[in-house]
Amino acid sequence: MKITVIVAVHKKYRMPKEKCYLPLHVGREGKADIGFAGDNTGDNISGKNPYYCELTGLYWMWKNMDSDYKGLVHYRRYFAGKQGAGHGDKFNRILTEKEIKSLLRKS
């Protein structure tokens, strides 16, 4: 089961360590490289980012990624896992690939 969750980003920012998360520079067309994959390759609508925001990344994923399960999060907004309650570093509370797989098996 291949799971890819794109992290829509427009600037350099800390990213989750889990391999299922793919930082994607949305609206990359005509912008400076920030070190992440861009939504301006393959079949894309990157140039329409001012009108569609993160959806240009979702479109890119739909047209260009071969994953069994696909998801989208914002670079500052993640789904929290079981360890998600409480305070502290939010990156320690992000839903893990193992938790995602467990949830998908239950659905």
Residues 64, 51: Cα–Cα separation, whole Å: 21
Is the pTM higher than 0.75? The answer reads yes
Q: Is 68 exposed, middle or buried (0-12, 13-18, 19+ CB in 10 A)?
A: exposed
Say how far apart CA 67 and CA 100 lie, in whole Å. 14
Reading the chain (107 residues) residue by residue, the pLDDT tens digits are: 999 999 999 999 999 999 999 999 999 999 999 999 999 999 999 999 999 999 999 999 999 999 999 999 999 999 988 765 667 777 888 999 999 999 999 88
Residue 74 sits at φ, ψ, to 5 deg, of -90, 150
Q: Which residues contact 97 (CB under 8 A, 6 or more apart)?
A: 3, 18, 19, 20
Total Cβ atoms within 10 A of residue 84: 14
Alpha carbon separation from 30 to 9, 39, 48 (Å, rounded): 15, 11, 11
